[in-house]
Amino acid sequence: MKLTTAELAFVRSLGLFIRQKCGGCGKLLNQSFRYTISGKAEIYCSAACRDRVFFGDRWEAQKRSTPGKCVYCGASLQGKRPGALYCDAVCRMRANRRAKAQLAREDEKSRTPTQPIQGVADVKMAG
């Protein structure tokens, strides 16, 4: 999705020449990578963001991207209920622990000041 004129002016004042943001999460897009859905004009920042928009939620996207295989270890889900994501409780718990650890690492990274990105959000809210 294209930036509004106020957002574009703010980004230009920072010396950046970015014209679009992700259609799913709203992050400013890098010009070198583009993720799209066939037949739609939106551009997304990552395959995961594109899949979340296309399938409606994160779990459905994971299930559809690996049909018949455990999301964590890749083992077969033959004999499990339809729509199962994990082969057993061990894989489910390991995946949950991995996700929590990843969120904790992302929180540590986010301690750096993000004034330019916050400014884009402020312009978006004001406009």
Q: What is the pLDDT of residues 61-104, one digit of tens each?
A: 777 777 788 888 889 988 888 878 889 999 999 988 988 887 77
Q: Tell me the whole-structure pTM to 2 decimals.
A: 0.45
What total number of domains does the chain contain? Answer: 2
Residue 48 belongs to a domain: yes
Is the alpha carbon torsion for 88, 90, 96, 99 positive or negative?
negative
Tokens 């330019």, residue? 116
Return d(Cα 109, Cα 103) in angstroms, integer. Answer: 10
- Are 31 and 70 within one domain? no
The CA angle 100-104-109, to the nearest 5 degrees, is: 145
User: Residue 27's domain spans which residues?
Assistant: 1-57
- Are 78 and 29 within one domain? no
Q: What percent of the chain has pLDDT over 90?
A: 8
- Are 76 and 31 within one domain? no
